[in-house]
Structures are given as C-alpha cells and as structure tokens.
Amino acid sequence: MAVEFPPVHVPRPYALPQTPLAARVECPMPDGATIVAWTYAPAGMTDVPGTPYGIDLCSPPVLMLHGNGEEHGIFGPVIDAVCASGRSVIAVDSRAQGASSRGTAPLTYELMADDAVEVCARMGVPQVHVLGFSDGGILGLLLARDWGAHVLSLTALGANLTPAGLPQEDTDWMAFAVAENRRWAEEGYEGAELEDGTPVPSPAESARIAELLQLMVDNPQIEATSLAGIACPVTVMVGEFDEILPEETDRIVSAIPGAVKVVEPGIDHNLPKMAPDAVARELLACVARNDRRHARRAAEMPDGIAVCRVPVSGLWAEKLDELYRHVDAEPGTSGWVQDVWPPVGMARELLAAGAYWGAFETGAVRDGQPADDAALLGAVAVDRRADMGNGRAPGHGSGLGGPGWERRPGKDVACWHLLAVDPAARGRRVADALVCAGTLAARELGAKVVRLNTNVANVPANALYASRDLTRHRPVWLPYPGLPLPGWSNLWELEL
C-alpha cells in the first residue's frame, strides 16, 4: 500500500548575506522560548563597547522580519545593501522558525511582535526602521501601530490584514496542508523521501509546519481602522502577481495616513528572493523619509541657561517633587510613574546629601546660588553610588551577566541619577546643560569616569547619551517593578 506523504514545500533558492556577522544574540522569553537574532554592521563596525552587537544608536538600525516558515537569511542582499548605506541590521528568526525555539505560549502574530520588541530591548535599541515580509509584514503593521514611538519607518512586503485578503483557493490549500501535516505528525516516520529524493518532513517538523500554516488560516485579524494612528512613513510593497489580493493591499494603504504603495512588475509574492534590489531601493527610500541620525558632539552650555548646586534648605525639595510630577505626567517613552519612579523620598534623600545640580535661567543665578523664586528647568543628582545591578535580578533575563566595563576603584567613579528636564523647558537644550553640570560635579568628586543606566525604551535619554560622546556598554537585566518598561537598561560611561 502506497504511503501518502503530506505536501512537501521546496523553498525557492535565495542569496545569503555576504556582510560578516557582527553578533548572534539569544533572547530568553518568559514562556521558555529562545528567540535568536543576528546583527550585521557596516564595514569597520564591530561588537565592542560603544557599538555593542555592532549597533551604533546614533544611526538607528533596520529590524528585519521574515515570512512564515522561513529564516532571516532570505533578506541576504537587502542586508548587504543596508549595511553598505552605513546602517546596521537586526534580523530575527521568528518564534518556532529558523534557529528560534517554540516556547509554550499560544502562537499568535501579537506574540511574535512582542518577541521582536524584546529582541530590541535585549540589544538596548530604542528605535528601529522595520522591514517585514509576508508574516513579517503583518508583524511590522502591529509594531508600527502598538510600538509607534519606537518605529521610525515601516516597509511592509506582501502583508494582509485578514485571511480573506488571500484568494480562497490559497486558504483552502493551507487548510488541507494543515490536516495532512497533522496526520503525518501522528502517523509518519523519520527519513521518508519522495521519489526524486526530496526529504519529507519528520513527524516533529510536520507538527511545526501545521501550527505555522494554521496561523495563516485563522489570522491575522487586524481592523483596518486600527492603523489610522500609525504616524511613521510607511511603504506597502507587493509583486504584480502577488498572492495578496489587490483590494487587500489598497485597504492597508488607505488605512495608514501617507502610506505609499509600490507594485513591482513581473514579480510574485517572493519579493525578497526575486527582487532584492527593488526591495532595498524602496526600503532605503522609506528610511530616508524619517532618517533620524544623531550627530555626535560634546555637550556645551546653551545660551541663557546656568547650572549650580541646588540648595539643601528652603523649598527646593518641593520644587524637585514638582519637576518629577511634570515629567511623570508627560506622555512619552520615559516610563516614569508618579510615586513609583522616582520612588517617594529618593529625590529628597539625594538633595539632603548635597548631590543635586539644577538648571536655571541665567538671570536667576547669582554667586553660584539660585534665587529663592527661580524656576527649576531640570536637575541631575551626582554621587558615587554606581551600582548598576549584577545580572541576577529575578526574571527571564537573569543570569546573562552584569556590567562589562572595566573595574575601577570606587573613588574613580561617579554616577548620575534622575536626570530630568521639565517638559515646559524642552527645546532649550536644558539636557545639554545638565550633562555639563553632571560632568562638573563628577570632577569635583575627583572621579575619572561617570557611569549611569537608562531603560532601553527611553528614546530621548538614549539619543542624548549616544550623541554626547558617552560610550554604550551591553545592557543588563535591571527590571523596575511597577513601571511599564522592559527589564533591560543600557549602561553608559563617560571618561573625564
């Protein structure tokens, strides 16, 4: 009796990246999965302090997300083109695909989008440009919608909002393939081959294939109206003969303000494999529409601003509390929450120790002292308490190592705490003034280096430190209970 094999998919050949690998990073997830990401960097950029994993935050990288049942290598020539443009790439093997494991959580597109966010957090990257193909394009839409402050641009290739965005015969075939792979997972055997010698998936592989195909049969389920809040530049690209129905592509483009549609002539759904040059062209054009590179320069005191120590006595504790209330209430990515961060009493304790420096209007400071009624534009505390965690805090990132910087005597190290600018004073370079104040205070302590940490989700803080000649070291697992933030914090160091 002839054995009935399940449908066997033979992938179309594709060119792998020629750019040397900068780093392979394993990201543990709460449900036990390990998501593997690969970084590629421009020539001369390596995985060293300053550019951990080959990533310089002054030029936000491109996050690449592949299609169903594939792995990151499908983007090979596109990875090479991005690196040749002077920008690094984070290429993710999605959950249960490539080198990444399955875990125990129910498999959804939302879960895989969360995985991509965690990968960026693990690498200390607060902002990315996104390129997603097929399933990866769906993930890109979710990221641009739900993680919008961190997505600078999105290039979505062959994405759909619902299974109805595909021809009925395609979803019918996938449902058939699901059933056949499930049957083979139960009844099949190892080492089977077709007549031409093509390997048949093992029972375990068939179970994985069935689950991934079922994902496409039932999902995604994205309301077009939910995409109206996407604010970054978006390019939606399909092949002329793409399996995605033209009206589905038009639904996506119409739903996103300012989205651009590109149809590549003569190409089917396999855009990264068949037309990598066109994909690279459209990706780099989309990136250029919001290319937020941060010019690196030393901090300088701005005009009209003066810095000095904040007096210990008077109403300055109340003014500090008011400053942090303003910051906590401001929408943004700091993640600070009233009475959680800064913790109640922390600012007052640092003030009592004489650690605080403030930024003020120039005319409000005389003889190194602010007037009693001076407005506090921003503040930073500076002392020697530079404990950044040891990598053993509870959670799925524990045990992955502590700070990797050089050990130094305590007397040589100063630390900045609670650096914040009043939202009403933004645009006046108050943060530059605080960096100058923090540097002066550290030198007064006799320190040779300043160290600090900032959560990877805090976009403006990371951009500030990246662009002011601070050296970034690998992030550490340093969760802050009660804050809506990932558990990873970037470590920054400034040589004095």
Distance CA 381, CA 416 (A): 6
451 in Cβ contact with 493 (< 8 Å): yes
| Residue 267: per-residue pLDDT | 97
Please calculate the CA angle 424-338-306 and round it to the nearest 5 degrees. Answer: 35
178 in Cβ contact with 213 (< 8 Å): yes
Would you say how long the chain is, in residues?
496
pLDDT at 140 over 60: yes
pLDDT digits (tens, 9 = 90+) for 419-456: 999 999 999 999 999 999 999 999 999 999 999 999 99
User: Which residue(s) pair with 495 in the sheet?
Assistant: 449
pTM beyond cutoff 0.85: yes
- Helices 430-444 and 459-466 meet at what angle, rounded to 10? 60
Q: In which residue are the tokens 């490539």 written?
A: 98
**Which tokens belong to 352?**
């009592």
Kindly state the average pLDDT of the residues 113-122. Answer: 98
Distances (CA, A) of 175 to 162, 165, 184, 209: 15, 15, 14, 12
Type of residue found at 130 = V
483 in Cβ contact with 335 (< 8 Å): yes
User: Which residue(s) pair with 494 in the sheet?
Assistant: 450
Q: Which long-range contacts (CB under 8 A, 24 or more apart) does 367-370 make?
A: 368/308, 368/309, 369/308, 369/311, 370/308, 370/310, 370/311
pLDDT at 1 over 70: no
Distance CA 366, CA 374 (A): 11
Number of H helices, E strands in the chain: 12, 17
Question: Phi first, then psi: what are they for 121, rounded to 5°?
Answer: -65, -45
pLDDT digits (tens, 9 = 90+) for 50-102: 999 999 999 999 999 999 999 999 999 999 999 999 999 999 999 999 999 99
**Which tokens belong to 365?**
């400071």
Among 191, 179, 167, CA closest to 7: 179
Kindly state the average pLDDT of the residues 203-228. Answer: 97
Q: Is residue 326 very low, low, confident or very high in pLDDT (cuts 50, 70, 90)?
A: very high
| Residue 386: per-residue pLDDT | 81
Question: DSSP letter at 200?
Answer: P
Q: What percent of the chain shows pLDDT beyond 90?
A: 92
pLDDT digits (tens, 9 = 90+) for 259-305: 999 999 999 999 999 999 999 999 999 999 999 999 899 899 999 99
306 in Cβ contact with 364 (< 8 Å): yes
Distances (CA, A) of 36 to 129, 277, 397: 19, 26, 14
**Which tokens belong to 452?**
């600090």
Among 324, 348, 344, 300, CA closest to 419: 324
Domains of the chain (ranges; CATH) run 21-166+212-288 (3.40.50.1820), 305-495 (3.40.630.30)
- 124 Ramachandran zone, left/alpha/beta (phi>0; psi -120 to 50): left
| Residue 201: per-residue pLDDT | 95
| Residue 391: per-residue pLDDT | 79
Among 303, 94, 318, CA closest to 215: 94
Q: Is residue 390 very low, low, confident or very high in pLDDT (cuts 50, 70, 90)?
A: confident
**Which tokens belong to 3?**
């054995």
pLDDT digits (tens, 9 = 90+) for 224-248: 999 999 999 999 999 999 999 999 9
pLDDT digits (tens, 9 = 90+) for 8-53: 988 889 999 999 999 999 999 999 999 999 999 999 999 999 999 9
pLDDT digits (tens, 9 = 90+) for 298-321: 899 999 999 999 999 989 999 999
Sheet of strand 471-477: strand arrangement: 305-309, 356-361, 378-383, 413-421, 449-455, 488-495, 471-477
Mean pLDDT of the chain: 96
Distance CA 214, CA 299 (A): 54
